[in-house]
Amino acid sequence: MSRRVVILGGGVIGLSAAWECARRGLRVTVIERAPERRGASFGNAGMVVPSHFIPLAAPGMVALGLKWMWNPESPFYIKPRLSWELALWAFRFWRASTPAHVERCAPLLRDLNLASRELYARLAVEEDFGLVKKGLLMLCKQPRTLEEEAHTAEKAKALGVPAQILDARAIAALDPGVTMDITGGVYFPMDCHLQPERYVAALERRIQGAGGELLYGTEATGWRREGGRIVAVATKAGEVAGDEFLLCGGAWSTELARGTGLRLPMQAGKGYSVTVPHPVELPGICSIFTEARVAVTPMGGALRFGGTMEIAGMNERINPRRVAGILKAVPQYYPKFAPEHFAGLKPWSGLRPCSPDGMPYLGRTRAAENLIVATGHSMMGLSLAPITGQLVAQLAAGEPVAHDLALLSPDRYA
């Protein structure tokens, strides 16, 4: 009988891992605390971004965070609170925000994102989840911002990631479906986008078709060990036994990891989105409003605006001021849009798992010999989901691992 893999977390990372394990003949059980299709994977921007090779912890981010801290509508916000874990996370974030850290991490993030893009393209041959391979536009209103993005474009090209610096006229010709008020921008032709909910649905069908089990609305409460191995996960519905265990619990992974003795420092970075079902104009290329840090993604005939990184603890409450910050930015870049186009629309929020150095936790851990960790992807969870799933499945199946995971060790803060 094949070995059983128990996966904690039914978001895009957990389901990608479950499918990769299932297609290798492993028996799969996914345990997810949220009800079906309620996780943090459904309302995100749906972008696959080889262009995003700079981790969240990068030079200038601390200063930017301090600058924006007092603006309730800013793109990046850390809510002040008495928390030793937050203070230690912030200190580690500050220490990691160096050019040397970016230089170490950029090639790996590039490779992982490009590998994910290839895996998405392969799956799209058999499943329609709205994959559009038209690139990404970084739209800049200010000349100074365009100059900064041009420097990033040069770094991208040095890493082998294609990038083009364009003026406003060239961008309008590239994406004529929307009127723009910009100075220029950078075009990354290797980036693409998809519809997250359709990708998740495709994974669910495939996992269940391969005999996998999806336990939604089931909260994990602890672990049962025998020596150096985990033998079962405790849930409110009873124990789930297994041979290999994958921790893919997103922002909830830190608490789950404590039961194994593993230190997994993270903060939940809340993001928001609003989807306009019938937009007044519909761009054909996903974009980012660079100064406002707002992502824009066409989702079939709809248009999704998303953004913010709100470090405010483990709560999923909607902060109207954060949503207002996103929506106020839209007419500044897309002048045909007005406040009434967003009236009555319900915003979505989700918690991203953010490690102090902006890099995922991925690999085996010394905490238990049969525990594999895959979490901490910050804003690149969907972008890195397929390659993350492939790598943890290779570990679970005893196969050679396709990438060096040393920088992603779950034990790096142990």
Exposed, middle or buried by CB within 10 Å (0-12, 13-18, 19+), for 45?
Answer: buried
Task: Render pLDDT for 311-328 as a digit per residue (tens, 0 to 9).
Answer: 888 888 888 888 999 999
Q: Is 66 a residue whose pLDDT tops 80?
A: no
Distance of CA 260 to the CA centre of its chain: 25
Whether the Cβ atoms of residue 365 and residue 239 lie closer than 8 Å to each other: no
Which helix (H) or strand (E) segment holds residue 276: the answer is: strand 267-276
Q: Which residue has the higher pLDDT, 310 or 335?
A: 335
| Predicted confidence band of residue 20 (pLDDT cuts 50, 70, 90) | very high
Contact 113, 48 (CB under 8 A): yes
**Is residue 1 predicted with pLDDT exceeding 80?**
no
Give pLDDT, residue 317. Answer: 86
Query: Residue 405: pLDDT above 90?
Result: yes
Confidence of residue 43 (pLDDT cuts 50, 70, 90): confident
Q: How far is CA 170 from the centre of its chain?
A: 30
> Rounded to an integer, what distance in angstroms lies between the CA atom of residue 398 and that of residue 24?
11
pLDDT of residue 206: 97
Residues with Cβ within 8 Å of 17's Cβ and at least 6 positions away in sequence, in order, are 7, 246, 248, 374, 388, 389, 392, 393
Q: Which domains does the chain carry?
A: 4-42+198-266+358-408 (3.50.50.60), 53-99+127-193+267-354 (3.30.9.10)
Q: What is the pLDDT of residue 70?
A: 67
pLDDT of 39 above 60: no
Q: Is the pLDDT reported for residue 273 higher than 90?
A: yes
